Structure 1
């Protein structure tokens, strides 16, 4: 039991993202079977490659399209805004993920003999990454915002009904201040706006002790979260051209694309959304609001393209669950609310 989870929590890698939430689906199914209350047919897909782009799933779904045919898809791999304000996720951002390499001299050099006279790839790469975002938090890649969805003032006002709490947000991650694209709230920056982040950077000597070298190469991994109407192919191509353009002539640059995915939106006037909203309102006893998440689940768009079915993103975690970090956890309150809500969703949708 913790201050955040007075009913207890499961501390384990994958407890919230996503083994615990998937197990929650299994237990909800088990409960429906034991009580003879299953109102429709259910098919399960167990897939373990989501964190590396689900590289095999597309081929599998295309090959077994008839066997996997369905009316809708239920995914529990998202979170609610808070236990006091439950939400249904109505959108996810897409993803373009690349690895970059800057190469200078043909070998590591002694910094005493060459320092001050040759380009240091770590310095060059750091300056190039810094150029990707300006002082207003805008991404500087040519044409990056060309196809970004224009979210109306009405939609933004509806979204901000979730009452973003800046102080609580900063406290939860140990920061004294936040930053981001000017003109947008933290809630909007993490949901309806595209972003660029350096996820890792390396080069030179990183072992124990000292080694005075100028490295031959420096590398970084960079991810860009995309919003509706952007595609990973478009953004990866624009990133590559821009990164090559800003590179100085005395180094060589290589951009290697990794996995990507399209953004996804579930309209709030669909029967899928309404069935989920009603189910969670019954379980939580509170009004449920729509909420756009900032993460990416590329299979949602693929499912819609291949199977013609909308995905309902009915997750029950919290953004404070420390997913992808030490001490990841999942509250028992949320676990049981999921088991309670899922049968209600099937009941509502079947009507």
Structure 2
């Protein structure tokens, strides 16, 4: 029996413990967006570090930042072999609205083949597959086939605020040949996916003010421009009837796809019906001339994430609100730059804002789009790993989501990231009743195990050869200075 197969057998024989540990992990209310959970984030990071020490990583550190701690670990006993940097995030989205959960979001429970709880799939369950894969190999073979470094952060859900400075400061310690993260989706439990592109993101908040305080709508209705009405009128001027954005210059740098690329997407990707089913919606909406899958991956979009202003309680309150605000989120495609789009958006909003209100715009997040090279040896290793872990070859799909660290690793460490996801379309990421399919948890552990074995089989030379023809990178150093 091969080393990888022994590891898979080990995982199966320790199934109950692995699930119990994942339940412990999900129980932490590590919500990075809410300051009241700062203690939960610290406790979760400490728990994760203890897990990494127990598994057998040599160096494990919990590094404080101005926000949530960063957990680093490594095991570097394979000289002359590739180095893999495993990334994940232990922070989670807020659980609101709580009333829609069938069970408390931070009291994880197994129902059937699924573990329910906030963060079960995004990203605790997916990242934990790599920790457990390392344990399987170390317990059965006594070593890892390649050098492994782990970088787990607690701020991904709020834009990885402190991660860029950390990566720049420790770029030598983080040097690697390939990064891998599991924070994306498959098509189905038997249809694995390697994500080959991500959309960028730009989040802004627009606020309108009219008066110093709320006004009586009987005394002032009809003579004072209601900020909520003005805001609604502005929102209505962002899209035309065909679903295209009306911001001048917005589409100037959108990268067009060839007919062959779109044909592959139509064949391999989800159908309109599948996407509507996953969304629980009856009809689609968006830019004319594109499928729903194309609208969410190769075309940019602007979403209204929330509107606030005025009275929100029960019954009637006859007021004109003093202020109104809206949260916007752009999803951008190659080669759109979020900073350029920020500038274009601000200019357009200032143009359409009525003179009767005071306007303020704040940028909260800016993330570049990303594209992964299908021909990279790390991607080839992932293809073979999926075949062994799930029994089927993966397809290459584009994602409408954004993961800031992919560009960060490319720009600072000059390494690509393999996006090897294990979540399912119905895992309800960011929504109530989030879950993780436990068969995917164990198939993910097997896939991660085989991924490390495949990296060793491919060898360091393949990475050096590919690097020489793509972008320059100094040889990965074994020096660790944190």
State the TM-score, normalizing by the size of structure 2.
Answer: 0.70
CA contact (8 A) 2:207 2:361 kept: yes
Matched, 1:343 2:445: no
Instruction: Give the Å deviation of 1:162.
Output: 2.2
Matched, 1:307 2:430: no
Which residue in 2 is equivalent to 1:171? 277
Instruction: Give the Å deviation of 1:208.
Output: 3.1
Which residue in 1 is equivalent to 2:324? 218
The DSSP-based 3-state class of the residue aligned with 1:44 is strand
Q: 1:20 aligns with which of 95, 116, 125?
A: 125
Cα distance per residue 1:71-115 (max 9 Å; x no partner): 010101111122232211111111110000011233211111111
CA contact (8 A) 1:85 1:162 kept: no
Instruction: Give the Å deviation of 1:163.
Output: 5.0
Which residue in 2 is equivalent to 1:264? 370
The more displaced of 98-107 and 47-56 is 98-107
Instruction: Give the Å deviation of 1:6.
Output: 9.5
Q: 1:11 aligns with which of 99, 103, 116?
A: 116
State the TM-score, normalizing by the size of structure 1.
Answer: 0.95
The more displaced of 62-71 and 208-217 is 208-217
CA contact (8 A) 2:187 2:425 kept: yes
Which residue in 2 is equivalent to 1:106? 212
The DSSP-based 3-state class of the residue aligned with 2:327 is strand
Instruction: Give the Å deviation of 1:33.
Output: 0.9
Provide the C-alpha distance between the structure 2 equivalents of 1:267 and 1:7, rounded to a whole number of angstroms: 38
Structure 1: 5+ residue stretches without partners: none
Aligned residues: 347
The DSSP-based 3-state class of the residue aligned with 1:139 is coil
Which residue in 1 is equivalent to 2:139? 34
Give the CA RMSD over aligned residues: 1.5
Provide the C-alpha distance between the structure 2 equivalents of 1:172 and 1:147, rounded to a whole number of angstroms: 30
The DSSP-based 3-state class of the residue aligned with 1:178 is coil
More helix by share: 2
Which residue in 2 is equivalent to 1:182? 288
Q: 2:338 aligns with which of 209, 232, 255?
A: 232
Q: 2:306 aligns with which of 191, 200, 219?
A: 200
Provide the C-alpha distance between the structure 2 equivalents of 1:332 and 1:295, rounded to a whole number of angstroms: 23
Provide the C-alpha distance between the structure 2 equivalents of 1:77 and 1:276, rounded to a whole number of angstroms: 15
Structure 2: 5+ residue stretches without partners: 1-109, 459-482
Instruction: Give the Å deviation of 1:139.
Output: 1.0
44 and 190 in structure 1: CA distance in 2 versus 1, 3 angstrom threshold: same
Instruction: Give the Å deviation of 1:335.
Output: 0.8
The more displaced of 235-244 and 170-179 is 170-179
Provide the C-alpha distance between the structure 2 equivalents of 1:264 and 1:298, rounded to a whole number of angstroms: 9
The DSSP-based 3-state class of the residue aligned with 2:326 is strand
Which residue in 2 is equivalent to 1:248? 354
Provide the C-alpha distance between the structure 1 equivalents of 2:129 and 2:425, rounded to a whole number of angstroms: 18
